[in-house]
């Protein structure tokens, strides 16, 4: 019998059609201790399609995708492989995915200056007078410290006036 004493629906259909006997089914389902499969997680191959190429991940590791481009197999992170595919589609030249990896530049904290103005962080990495920058409303603003402070003040005044217009009752 199968584990748990039940026979599958497919086996019952095969018995009904006369293609298998109960003896064959019972023999198929007998498990010996040595033959019993060990507990393993099922292995699935993940596939995704990107610009005409199949990217596969058979190991289950997040950073182990592979793709065949122009007969050459490349492996690496999914986003870097997609950049390699983009590059090949645009230029018809292969570049390995490692060439698209962003290298982090270390900036020593002693060279970096930070100022806070009305909740906005203004940063200078270069120690130059016009090397200041910040992000206001999702936009990068660069320039001198005083110019950026003026832009922050202008934005806050504009935002306040917009809120007051919305809160005014309509006549």
CB of 61 closer than 8 Å to CB of 75: no
pTM of the model: 0.40
CB of 153 closer than 8 Å to CB of 165: no
Q: Helix or strand or coil: residue 93?
A: coil
E strands in 58-162: 65-69, 72-76, 113-117, 120-124, 132-136, 139-143
CB of 66 closer than 8 Å to CB of 45: no
Supply the mean pLDDT for the chain: 80
Read off the pLDDT band of 110 (50, 70, 90): low
CB of 68 closer than 8 Å to CB of 53: yes
Length of the chain measured in residues: 171
Higher pLDDT, 6 or 154: 154
22-62 pLDDT, tens digit per residue, is 766 666 555 544 455 555 555 677 888 999 999 998 877 77
Output the pLDDT for position 61. Answer: 79
């Amino acid at each position: 019998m199968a584990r748990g004493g039940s026979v599958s629906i497919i086996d019952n259909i095969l018995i009904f059609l006369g293609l298998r006997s109960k003896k064959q089914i019972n023999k198929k389902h007998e498990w010996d201790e040595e033959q019993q499969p060990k507990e393993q997680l099922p292995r699935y191959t993940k596939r995704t399609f990107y610009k005409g190429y199949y990217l596969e991940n058979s190991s289950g590791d997040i950073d182990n995708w592979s793709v065949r481009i122009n007969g050459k197999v490349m492996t690496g992170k999914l986003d870097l492989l997609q950049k390699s595919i983009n590059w090949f589609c645009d230029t018809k030249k292969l570049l390995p995915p490692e060439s698209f990896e962003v290298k982090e530049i270390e900036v020593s904290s002693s060279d970096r200056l930070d100022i806070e103005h009305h909740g906005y962080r203004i940063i200078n990495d270069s120690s130059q007078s016009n090397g200041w920058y910040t992000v206001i409303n999702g936009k990068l603003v660069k320039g001198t410290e005083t110019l950026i402070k003026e832009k922050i003040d202008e934005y806050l005044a504009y935002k306040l006036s917009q809120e007051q217009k919305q809160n005014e009752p309509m006549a």
